[in-house]
């Protein structure tokens, strides 16, 4: 990325996180530019990140090697169609819009190299994880550019089949909300067992963080880690047996299946 020029179309939460991540990795402000219709957004992002801001998307992409489109999914069609006449064939398009597939992007933009990404909200704290899919026009160098971009806000994994992005949406895209639900439920249960709410909440969140750190740094899988902390006839076993008697694993599978199905449905609707 030493001399890659990046243009962001849209400068909201996600774009600002990516710009902050790139700047933190030492990418000079002069290599990054962004556009947004709102003067307030332009002023805020220019002040915070020291980058040049534009009101006109076509001007922002002039001379860019990579164009990252970070507008709401509902705005994608109009934004892409308006950009099309100004695009150079070698410019890489990176889309982070949820539920907009490559076929729709190609319809609106033409035969560009396109990387479609599915990041998640912890990207706002640079603790995100993304799935990436490249169409066949994307070169190896452009893959590396997209990887560097998304890695600025967390981990990034390539997928060979675009449909797998529906599964990524179900696992990590929507995933933070599942953990929030578990945090809510464990906090409420801790309170019912007699703990002050504040303490139940902190115990739950720190446990989630600690367990994720343990699982990430361990060389054995989560099932083995669980076995190691589950003594026969102990307290953990009592809880795990109760979860399993309630069909926990089957419920998780059903929930993620519903999310993946909805992701595919939304792609149909948004891509019209």
Burial degree of 110 (CB within 10 A; 0-12, 13-18, 19+) = middle
Cα 158 to the chain's mean position, in Å?
13
CB under 6 A: which stretch of 8-16, 160-168, 192-200, 233-241 binds ligand NAP?
8-16
Closest CA to 26 of 197, 148, 171, 172: 148
- Angle 235-245/248-270 helices, nearest 10 degrees? 50
**Under the criterion CB under 6 A, does residue 113 sit at the interface with ligand NAP?**
no
Among 14, 80, 109, 153, binds ligand NAP (CB under 6 A): 14
Q: How does strand 32-35 pair with strand 154-158?
A: unpaired
Q: Two tokens at 237? A: 């076993």
Judged by CB under 6 A, the number of residues near ligand NAP is 27
* DSSP H or E run through 75: helix 73-83
First vs last Cα of the chain: how many Å apart? 35
Alpha helices in 100-247, H assignment, sequence order: 102-109, 140-151, 164-168, 175-192, 197-217, 222-229, 235-245
Cα atoms found within 13 Å of the Cα of residue 82, Cβ hemisphere only: 13
The binding track of 160-199 with respect to ligand NAP, each residue x by CB under 6 A or -, is ----------------------------------------
CB under 6 A: which stretch of 117-125, 236-244, 245-253, 260-268 binds ligand NAP?
117-125
Residues 6 or more apart whose Cβ sits within 8 Å of residue 41: 11, 12
Give residue number: closest CB to ligand NAP: 12
Closer Cβ to ligand NAP, 96 or 102, answer by number:
96
Closer Cβ to ligand NAP, 124 or 183, answer by number:
124
**Under the criterion CB under 6 A, does residue 20 sit at the interface with ligand NAP?**
no
Closer Cβ to ligand NAP, 100 or 200, answer by number:
100
The binding track of 70-109 with respect to ligand NAP, each residue x by CB under 6 A or -, is xxxx-x---x----------------xxx-----------
Among 1, 4, 10, 32, binds ligand NAP (CB under 6 A): 10
**Under the criterion CB under 6 A, does residue 271 sit at the interface with ligand NAP?**
no
Site of interaction with ligand NAP (CB under 6 A): 9-15, 35-38, 41, 57, 70-73, 75, 79, 96-98, 119-121, 123-124
């Amino acid at each position: 990325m030493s001399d890659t020029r990046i243009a962001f179309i849209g400068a909201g939460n996600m774009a600002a996180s990516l710009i902050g991540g790139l700047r933190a990795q030492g990418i000079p402000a002069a290599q990054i530019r962004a556009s947004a219709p709102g003067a307030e957004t332009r002023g805020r992002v220019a002040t915070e990140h020291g980058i040049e801001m534009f009101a006109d998307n076509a001007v922002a992409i002039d001379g860019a090697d990579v164009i990252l489109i970070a507008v709401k999914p509902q705005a994608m069609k109009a934004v892409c169609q308006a950009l099309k006449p100004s695009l150079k064939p070698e410019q890489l398009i990176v889309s982070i819009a949820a539920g907009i597939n490559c076929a729709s992007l190609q319809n609106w933009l033409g035969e560009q190299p396109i990387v479609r990404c599915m990041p998640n909200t912890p990207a706002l704290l640079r603790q995100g994880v993304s799935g990436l899919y490249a169409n066949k026009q994307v070169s190896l160098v452009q893959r590396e550019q997209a990887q560097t971009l998304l890695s600025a806000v967390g981990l990034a994994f390539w997928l060979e089949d675009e449909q797998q992005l529906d599964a990524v949406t179900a696992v990590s895209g929507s995933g933070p909300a599942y953990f929030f639900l578990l945090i809510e439920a464990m906090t409420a249960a801790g309170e019912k067992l007699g703990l002050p709410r504040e303490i139940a909440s902190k115990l739950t969140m720190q446990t989630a963080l600690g367990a994720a750190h343990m699982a990430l740094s361990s060389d054995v899988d989560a099932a083995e880690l669980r076995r190691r902390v589950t003594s026969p006839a102990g307290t953990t076993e009592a809880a795990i047996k109760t979860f399993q008697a309630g069909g926990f694993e089957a419920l998780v599978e059903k929930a993620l299946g519903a999310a993946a199905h909805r992701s595919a449905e939304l792609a149909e609707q948004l891509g019209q």
